[in-house]
Chain A
Amino acid sequence: MKKVLSTLVLGALVITGAFAEYPSKTIKLVVPSKAGGSTDTTARLFIDTAKKYWKNADFVVVNKPGAGGLIGFSYEQRQKPDGYTIGLMFTPQFVAHIVSKKAKYTLDDFKIIGNLAQDPGIVVVNAKSEVKTLDDLVRLAKSKTVTAAVNGIGSDDFLAAKQFEAQTGVKFNLLPTKGSTEQKTAILGNHVDVAFMNLSQMLANHKAGKARIIAILDMKRAEVAPDIPTSVEQNYDVLMTATRGMVIRNDVKKEIADKIRELYMQVIKDPDFQAKAKKSFIFLDPRPGDEYRKYLEKLQADIQRVYDKTPW
């Protein structure tokens, strides 16, 4: 009797285990950068809010930093397609690695859940600099060697600087740095003439009057800093935006993928999440799967063109 009972219980356990509704175990959110960075904060805020909607789910952040996100992106692609790994990614690196043939994945390996946030590119100078517009910058670059700090080769900053060069015919003395802190110090300490960065990195310094952002590399002005003109307004067709989205493996079952998509929509519309993001200088930019996928495809084609001319 005892034996029969235990078999029954065991059988029941196995069955509930197999058919247990997703999510029944801990979900990993893979962050392809260090703890404490902007992508990391986005992920942690996401989890904080996600728990409101999936009350029984457990989430954990797994940081896989290094090689401009490549280590993390590749890791996301190697995990089991069971829906318990959700990957964060950021552009343009996510597609740039495909273009430069460093990545072993392609866009087709992933289902795109959607974009979370964006951070437009900027051109920034020291507050005391005589450069006030992009025209000034071009004029200066034609009269002397202008040193421009970009965050590493192949980064969004680097691509923006290369676009600017191609558009205007000027040639910068490019200074690749390790991380945005080095760029910040270089601009604030007047060690370089100009830097290509992202809005969130310099907004506070711009507002405090220590640095001057002379252009936002976007179609429209930023809500948080309406005083800064865009590149398009200044008649320069140089556009660059870093985005941060979510992906899962392409072979995750459709039902599970739909659930994750639903969660993504719930979180990104949550007022509490929006308030926390705003304070952390995370500029939310909801773009669901298909729309974001089109953006990624176009971005990859654009980068391919730059790469074909000047590979790195």
Chain B
Amino acid sequence: MILLDAMQAVMSVDVLLAVVVGTISGIVIGGIPGLTATMAVALLIPITFSFSPLIGLAIMGGVYAGAMYGGSIPAILLSTPGTPAAAATALEGYPLTKQGKGGLALKVSVVASFIGGTFSVIVLLAIAPVLANFALKFGPAEYFLLALMGLTGVVSVATGGLAKGILSGLIGLIIALIGTNPMTGMTRYDFGIVELYEGVSFMPALIGMFSISQMLALTGERNIAKSDVDLKKIKREKLPKGIWPFIGYGTAVGTIVGIIPGEGATIAAFLSYNIAKAKSKMKHLFGKGNPEGIAAAEAGNNACVGGSLVPLLTLGVPGNTVSAALMGGLMIQGLIPGPELFTKHGVITYGFILSLFLANVVFLLTGLFFAPYFAKIAKVPSSILVAAISVFAVVGSYSINNSMFDVWLMLIFAFTGFFLDKLGYSLSAIILGMILGPIAENGFTQAMTISAGDSSIFFESTIAKVLWVIIVVLLAQPLFTHYKNRRQRIKAMRME
């Protein structure tokens, strides 16, 4: 009954308009590195106060969903992830753009984002309270294992051989050590620089290593795409066959990881990417432009949107910074997270959830319509593009924390990244180490504090046991392949 009332409430002109405006601005915000959905939602809080609650929430929800998708557009076209969660997308998207298939990559990305996003909202709508209890079972030990599971990805994102991949992951982990030790409050390797007290900020590192180092490589080319970009051909192009299971993996992983409070979307994207590679029949194409990787990663990060709202709406535990800002938007309307949200304020809450469906539809249509035109960017002369992107990279790095230090940081990462890449080290493995290092450390030390130094805490719960099994499976396959290849190579050498 409430659901019908909610549907009626959503179907009013002003709410629909709010969804469209919110989603489209979300896509733009997500597409520009340095502008985040968190900032946009925080900016909206005092403004939406004067609107009716549902309109305010519909705009914020639209921004959230739109931004999560929008991050993938520059990731694919320019190897410049608009959000950290789109980093995995860049790994496959940019190589496709180079081959003149940027339009296809964009299509795969928007469809996968739509399916991931929509499914997670269905889950939110149907079984949020049940899932909230699952979210709470995740203690520090489980967080550590989740981070470990993500770190197995180092093996699969690495393209330049196993040893260099692992070394790259270690470089990332070492960079992650910079900052405050969470247990003692002492700072490590900070050289007395206040900006490093909280660690190396992540977005400048990402922009430097992914975007600028690619732009440096581009200076030697006329433009990004080698072949021609044909508008008509892109419009007619169908999605690759067999892409659906990969969207499915991403959707499942993203929904589950999203529910767990913590910065989920980036981890979800990399984990989905990792699983996609393990499952793929075209493993050799990964890193060289495999749409399957995009499908998994994009479904994965967008599925986090619905997931992260589960603990927020039911328990008042925000899953990430965007939903923390969203919580501010809820509270100023007098909507306090908890069971009452689904009964007393049911019409607004369910209306908000339903508006998220519409937000997904809006970005799907927008994305599909503009994909061929966006793809044209691959034919823009490098002389213009490199300059333009560099400006964006500098402004973007600055605006994350309004800090000039971050701009220098970005440049350092850009140049070291360029050379490390040339030497065959994996920049994505470095990024992965940087994201997961602090989560692993925090989980490990917290778990060990709770258990007073007894390491059996990592094996106690059912969730922990399941995570161990997945870790072993994810590790076994690439290691086995590596071992087999080596044996064959040695055999071949003996034959000679």
A44 touches B402 (CB 8 A): no
A64 touches B46 (CB 8 A): no
Assuming A37-B324, A173-B452, A191-B140, is B318 touching A66 (CB within 8 A)? no
A70 touches B316 (CB 8 A): no
Query: What is the count of residue pairs linking A and B with beta-carbon distances less than 8 angstroms?
Result: 137
- Nearest B residue to A67 via CB reads B197
B315 touches A70 (CB 8 A): no
A74 to B361, CA, bound (A): 45
- Nearest B residue to A175 via CB reads B449
Chain A interface helix/strand/loop/mixed: mixed
B424 within 8 A of A: no
Assuming A181-B261, A188-B315, A208-B339, is B197 touching A63 (CB within 8 A)? no
B332 touches A280 (CB 8 A): yes
Most buried by A among B42, B135, B186, B337: B42
Contacts of A147 in B (CB 8 A): 449-450
A208 to B338, CA, bound (A): 7
- Nearest A residue to B405 via CB reads A71
A210 to B337, CA, bound (A): 12
B183 within 8 A of A: yes
- Nearest B residue to A71 via CB reads B194
- Nearest A residue to B439 via CB reads A178
Chain B 32-54, CB within 8 Å of chain A: the 1/0 string? 00001011011101100100000
Assuming A74-B194, A176-B183, A181-B261, is B328 touching A204 (CB within 8 A)? no
Q: How far is the CB of B343 from chain A (nearest CB, A)?
A: 12
Chain A 146-182, CB within 8 Å of chain B: the 1/0 string? 0100001110000000000000000001111110011
Most buried by A among B43, B46, B49: B46
A35 touches B331 (CB 8 A): no
A185 within 8 A of B: yes
Q: How far is the CB of A275 from chain B (nearest CB, A)?
A: 10
A204 touches B38 (CB 8 A): no
A74 to B194, CA, bound (A): 9
Contacts of B186 in A (CB 8 A): 312
B481 within 8 A of A: no
B403 within 8 A of A: yes
Residues in A184-211 with C-beta less than 8 Å from chain B? 184-186, 188-192, 204-205, 207-208, 210
A66 to B405, CA, bound (A): 13
Chain A contributes a number of interface residues (CB within 8 A of B) equal to 51
A281 to B195, CA, bound (A): 30
Chain B 233-262, CB within 8 Å of chain A: the 1/0 string? 000000000000000000000000000010
Q: How far is the CB of B396 from chain A (nearest CB, A)?
A: 15
- Nearest B residue to A188 via CB reads B136
B185 touches A204 (CB 8 A): no
A99 to B139, CA, bound (A): 34
Q: How far is the CB of B382 from chain A (nearest CB, A)?
A: 35
Chain B 312-355, CB within 8 Å of chain A: the 1/0 string? 00011110011011001001111011111000000000000000
Interface residues of A (CB under 8 A from B): 34-37, 40-41, 44-45, 47-48, 62-68, 70-71, 74, 145, 147, 152-154, 173-178, 181-182, 184-186, 188-192, 204-205, 207-208, 210, 276, 279-281, 312
Closest A-B pairs by Cβ, 3 of them: A153-B185, A36-B325, A189-B136
Can you list 19 pairs linking A and B with CB atoms under 8 Å apart?
Answer: A34-B38, A35-B36, A36-B39, A41-B332, A62-B402, A63-B402, A65-B401, A71-B195, A71-B197, A74-B194, A153-B184, A173-B450, A181-B324, A186-B139, A188-B136, A205-B316, A208-B338, A276-B46, A312-B186
Interface residues of B (CB under 8 A from A): 36, 38-39, 41-43, 45-46, 49, 135-140, 180, 182-186, 194-195, 197-198, 261, 315-318, 321-322, 324-325, 328, 331-334, 336-340, 401-403, 442, 446, 449-450, 452
Having A37-B324, A207-B338, one finds 17 other A-B pairs with CB under 8 Å, namely: A36-B41, A36-B321, A41-B332, A44-B43, A67-B198, A68-B197, A152-B182, A176-B182, A177-B446, A181-B317, A184-B316, A185-B138, A207-B336, A276-B332, A280-B331, A312-B184, A312-B185
